[in-house]
Amino acid sequence: MNTTSQPLESQIPSIAPSVIHSRWGQLVLGLVCMMAISSPQYVWTLMTHPLSTKLGITLPEVQVAFSLLIILQTFFSPFQGSLIDRFGPRLLISVGTVLSGLSWVLAAQATSAMMLYLAYGVVGGLGTGIVYVGVIGLMVRWFPAQRGFAAGAVAAGYGFGAIITTFPVSTSLHTRGLDATLWIFGIAFALIGFVASQGLSVPRGAAPAAVDRGAADPLDMQPAHMLKTPIFWLMFVMMCMMSTSGLMVISQMATFAHDFGVGKATVFGLAALPLALTIDRFTNGITRPLFGWISDRAGRENTMCFAFALEGVAMTLWLLTRSDPLIFVLLSGVVFFGWGEIFSLFPSTLTDTFGTRYATANYGWLYIAQGIGAVFGGPLAALLHQHAGSWMPVFGSAIALDLGAAVLAILVLKPGRARFIAARRAQANSPMVV
């Protein structure tokens, strides 16, 4: 029997018990894999000062590692998607989880900025990117009628994961130091992710590529054609705007919390900063399936407008009340509640617009916007703060991006997308089409 067209892993027996091969079992395993790779991004802010002190480099230089992490995670998404289709999700996700944990172990050995960039940025970025794209792509195959829910659920795992690790990492940094913390947690992340990934499998009878094989949808458009449409680039710019504002907060939060005077404060008997980070991870996770569900009923652009504006308003209030530890903690959760939904709203809007057949490959291209946001929200935001000597212009820029994206969603994207879809359907129904 010819097996050359099947993913390599289909020829390798799974060690997982049969119960795991239900779609809900696969969803749980996908969640665990996503949680195992979430800390490199969402706990990064706790390590910026220790890394700066250890390596003797400035904050903008440290933030280059974070930007590399996001850039490598996102810019290679189309390529990683093709590898996953070729070799199968279980094999590639296994490799990705190990690389993600290994990046922390290697970062503990870094003695220069370049070593940090290679370890945390390059190795970590490639590892997390493979897992993220692979899990999302696998779940939409297991849940063909509930793609939005499945993608939002596992994307929530990426946001939720750091809830478990924020306080332990913060405590370990104070008691064990930077290097030991990176060693211990890096090994733990690699082991947990690798074990969970061994139970992953494709649905029986599924084609090697995550595409629909049914009747052609007039909206189905390959990436090469999608990239030529203005409506895609409008969504790309909007996702860049929202990614920039959110990643600015994620990457710089520990720094501006200290500058605002709340870095060492306590709230409800707990340290304010790790408490805020823990709450943020929860709201950042729950918002993804929640706003995805709302958008199914209220409309994609209407939901975008509300959520994006919510982040902008919350960030404004956050800035105005920045010296109050309690309000700082609470509003940080609202800020992330208005940001994390981009990982459910943009994929679902993109699929609504360009069809399901090439949804995974198409989203790989849109996901590059997250990498661009990492550059603007990471080192460039740190440079702006360094030159201005204040966080005001940084926050002002992020607020403007949030509110601008909200306006674009309702006034430009909504009517533009409606015209595009109507034109595609009319073209498909035209007897002149061949």
Q: 78 and 361 in contact (C-beta within 8 Å)?
A: yes
pTM: 0.76
SS (H, E, C) 115-176: HHHHHHHHHHHHHHHHHHHHHHHHHHHHCCCCHHHHHHHHHHHHHHHHHHHHHHHHHHHHHC
| Residue 434 pLDDT | 41
- H or E, element range at 271: strand 270-271
User: Could you give the C-alpha distances from 322 to 84, 129, 289, 310, 326, in angstroms and in order?
Assistant: 45, 34, 29, 18, 10
- The residue whose two tokens read 């029986």 is 204
User: Using alpha carbons only, how large is the chain's radius of gyration in Å?
Assistant: 21
| Residue 433 pLDDT | 46
| Residue 2 pLDDT | 46
| Residue 265 pLDDT | 85
Q: 301 and 381 in contact (C-beta within 8 Å)?
A: no
| Residue 364 pLDDT | 80
Provide the CB-side half-sphere exposure for 197 (13 A, CA): 28
Tens-level pLDDT at each residue, the chain (434 residues): 444 445 555 444 444 455 566 888 999 999 999 999 988 887 888 888 899 999 998 888 888 898 888 888 888 877 776 677 677 788 889 999 999 999 999 999 999 999 999 999 999 999 998 898 888 778 867 776 666 677 778 888 887 777 788 889 989 999 999 999 999 999 999 999 999 999 988 777 544 444 444 445 677 888 889 999 999 999 999 999 999 998 888 778 888 888 888 878 888 888 888 888 888 878 988 888 888 888 888 998 999 999 999 999 999 999 899 889 999 999 999 999 999 889 888 988 888 898 877 776 788 889 889 888 888 887 888 888 888 888 889 999 999 999 999 999 999 999 999 999 999 888 877 655 44
| Residue 214 pLDDT | 46
Q: 132 and 138 in contact (C-beta within 8 Å)?
A: no
Provide the CB-side half-sphere exposure for 152 (13 A, CA): 24
Report residue 101: phi and psi, to 5°: -70, -35
Q: Degrees (nearest 5) of the Cα angle 258, 259, 265?
A: 40
